[in-house]
Amino acid sequence: STTPVKVAVTGAAGQIGYSLLFRIASGALLGPDTPVELRLLEITPALKALEGVVMELDDCAFPTLAKVEIGDDPNTIFDGANVALLVGARPRTKGMERGDLLEANGAIFTGQGKALNDHAADDIRVTVTGNPANTNALIAKSNAPDIPAERFSALTRLDHNRALAQLAKKTGTSVNDLKKLTIWGNHSATQYPDIFHAEVAGKNAAEVVNDQTWLENDFIPTVQKRGAAIIEARGASSAASAAAATIDHTRDWLRGSADGDWLSMAVVSDGSYGVPEGLISSFPVITKDGNWEIVQGLEINDFSRGRIDASAAELAEERDAVQQLGLI
């Protein structure tokens, strides 16, 4: 089709935005034949910096970039949006309590949820990258009663990709040889990267690895704490990899997961695997044409059970906290 797909991005002048926008504009999200209109939201003081980013987008002369709109009003920027990538969020600053953080982000995601509800296109798909991503997605979803709940998702694909890289390294294979890895739960240090159903070149990953010590003391904590390790090394949080994962997640949602494989996405729970209904939690999912389905019937061993439950419990606490703040 020649009608541009409208992709809204929030936090567009931030570090993730600086990597994300250029990849979307060059066709990495929607393919080389689909024109894209970028609709970029920032807070007022960041609009000047955003204008500079738009100058650079112009200077790339991307054939697939049809138009760019920028602004500080979500009601305008989300108008007609087919895809919304909610990247902008309030980071935790010194002296800020957890409740303060939830409240600051609550203000952002209630407003953006309402704006999406009132102005986005009927086929809107929403990916939340800004932290706390799962709970921000829950807040946005709860403030958009006219948008089907399954159109809201939060990013755990970066965790999924990090886990793939670690497993490939351990098994001396390539990420192309790996399938059916799962991130369960919250995009936080309680997330659980699960290799018990994963495959390495067609064989069960846990059996190929056959190293419980590595699994417990190396693999799981490395994936869980990778964000902190990047900050320690780079002096800034993950940006290019987070942008790449935001694209992978949204592209695969729209275009479909590969046959014989699945993805990790945080989506609204239907109670599957004992995760309380209504939480936005990461699951193994299969996608097709902009829809997702949680993979059913996986056997969960005791080791996995405890970890899935712990991450779900953390999500339930976050939900209770934002409920008490009147945000959902």
| Pair of tokens at residue 231 | 């900050």
Residue 129 in contact with ligand NAX, rule: CB under 6 A: yes
Buried b (16+ CB within 10 A) or exposed e, 176-204: ebbbbbbbbbbbbebbbbbbbbbbbeeee
Residue 307 among known ligand-binding residues: no
Residue 133 in contact with ligand NAX, rule: CB under 6 A: yes
User: Nearest distance from residue 230's CB to ligand NAX, in Å?
Assistant: 9
Side-chain-side CA neighbours of residue 193 (13 Å) = 29
Instruction: Find the helix or strand (DSSP H, E) in which 197 lies.
Output: none
Q: What x-and-dash track marks residues 265-304 binding ligand NAX by CB under 6 A?
A: ----------------------------------------
Residue 172 among known ligand-binding residues: no
Closest CB to ligand NAX: residue number: 14
Considering only residues 190 to 219 of the shown chain, the ones binding ligand NAX according to CB under 6 A are: none
Residue 248 in contact with ligand NAX, rule: CB under 6 A: no
Question: Which residue shows structure tokens 């955003």?
Answer: 50
Query: Alpha-carbon distance 19 to 12, whole Å?
Result: 10
Whether the Cβ atoms of residue 24 and residue 9 lie closer than 8 Å to each other? yes
User: What single letter denotes the amino acid at residue 134?
Assistant: N
Choosing from 66, 209, 239, 321, the residue that interacts with ligand NAX (CB under 6 A) is 239
Residue 131 among known ligand-binding residues: yes
Residue 162 among known ligand-binding residues: yes
Q: Phi/psi at 280 (nearest 5 deg)?
A: -95, 100
Query: Alpha-carbon distance 142 to 302, whole Å?
Result: 33
Query: Alpha-carbon distance 121 to 71, whole Å?
Result: 18
User: Nearest distance from residue 137's CB to ligand NAX, in Å?
Assistant: 10
Residue 205 among known ligand-binding residues: no
Whether 119 is a known active-site residue: answer no
Query: Alpha-carbon distance 300 to 236, whole Å?
Result: 36
Q: What x-and-dash track marks residues 2-21 binding ligand NAX by CB under 6 A?
A: --------xx-xxxxx----
| Pair of tokens at residue 2 | 């020649």
Considering only residues 66 to 125 of the shown chain, the ones binding ligand NAX according to CB under 6 A are: 87-91, 108
Residues found near ligand NAX in the complex (CB under 6 A): 10-11, 13-17, 41-43, 46, 87-91, 108, 129-131, 133, 155, 158, 187, 227, 237-239, 242
Q: Which residues are annotated as a binding site for NAD(+)?
A: 11-17, 105, 112, 129-131
- The catalytic residue positions are 187
Binding-site annotation: residue ranges: 11-17, 92, 98, 105, 112, 129-131, 162
